[in-house]
Amino acid sequence: MTGADSPESTGSPNSAGSSDSPDTDPSAPETYDEFAASRSDPRFTDWLRERAGDSWDDATAHRLTRELAADELADDVFRQYLVQDYAFVETLVGVFGHAVGTAPTMESKSELVSFLGVLTDDEDDYFLRAFDALDVPESVYSDPKTTPATRAFIDLLERAAGQGGYAETLAVLVPVEWVYLSWATDAADAGSHPDESPSRFYLSEWVELHAVDDFAAFVEWLRTELDREGAAASPRRQRRLEQLFRRTVELEVAFFDEAYELGRGSSRPGDGRW
């Protein structure tokens, strides 16, 4: 992904990505049936990750996450990223809420409701403390000017939830959370010694929030849900789920990229393009 797309270009869930995207791994089986036939214990989400191709590596090993883990990320860049992420989280909460309504069992609904509590409590508390430390005015984070990547991301999630079913909603939620688990786990492993962790709390806690066992267990549960729903879907619907998953990963990359573009546009430290 070389840049952010406008929200208009995201299209509907049926056109969330093209099957011949240059970022698709050419060695990845085109259909889930082909993928499953060559494996003893196939997972639908493993096929989706393979189909994401280079975009998956671009998202999980992005410059932003690497610099964050190494305590080298400029405050201006993280400031811009965090403001946009806060704007995105409001939509994410709504999509998780939609998933609660479409989940097939009470157990599934309960799992999703529990995670909603994390998003609206622990994570929201982190955002507010980080904004205070980074001198981000409430007027900025409460009503931010969203960027093209943020708007495209929000549009994609809303369309997937509004025009699809439980499986389509999972197809965008799984990569959103799985990408963060992947890069944060790598960051936590690389900084296992206290002296190697980021010294700024808003960087170290951002890693910790996404590298804890509870979050890993939730992502695994989300994947299992999509594994079941995806494997049972028709080939046409499986393709739609794959397109949604891949498009979500591409937008994660664009979202990270834009933080640097905004940081470079600052008129003074901290201003960005607010």
Q: Which of 222, 250, 223 has its CA nearest to residue 51?
A: 250
d(CA 35, CA 48): 10
CA distance readout (Å), 29 to 38, 203, 237, 243:
10, 38, 16, 14
Residue labelled with tokens 């205070």: 132
Query: Would you give per-residue pLDDT tens digits along the chain (274 residues)?
Result: 333 333 333 333 334 444 445 556 667 899 999 999 989 999 999 999 999 999 999 999 999 999 999 999 999 999 999 999 999 998 999 999 999 999 999 999 999 999 999 899 989 999 999 999 999 999 999 999 999 999 999 999 999 999 999 999 999 999 999 999 999 999 998 765 555 679 999 999 999 999 999 999 999 999 999 999 999 999 999 999 999 999 999 999 999 999 998 756 544 334 444 4
Backbone angles phi, psi at 56, to 5 degrees: -65, -45
Per-residue pLDDT at 25: 65
Per-residue pLDDT at 122: 87
Q: Which of 255, 204, 245, 243 has its CA nearest to residue 222?
A: 245
The rounded radius of gyration (Å) of the Cα atoms in the chain is 18
Q: Which two tokens stand for residue 239?
A: 């393709």
Exposed, middle or buried: residue 267 (CB in 10 Å: 0-12, 13-18, 19+)?
Answer: exposed
d(CA 248, CA 161): 13
d(CA 224, CA 218): 10
Contacts of 192 (CB under 8 A, 6+ apart): none
For the entire predicted model, the pTM comes to: 0.86
Amino acid occupying residue 93 = V
Per-residue pLDDT at 75: 96
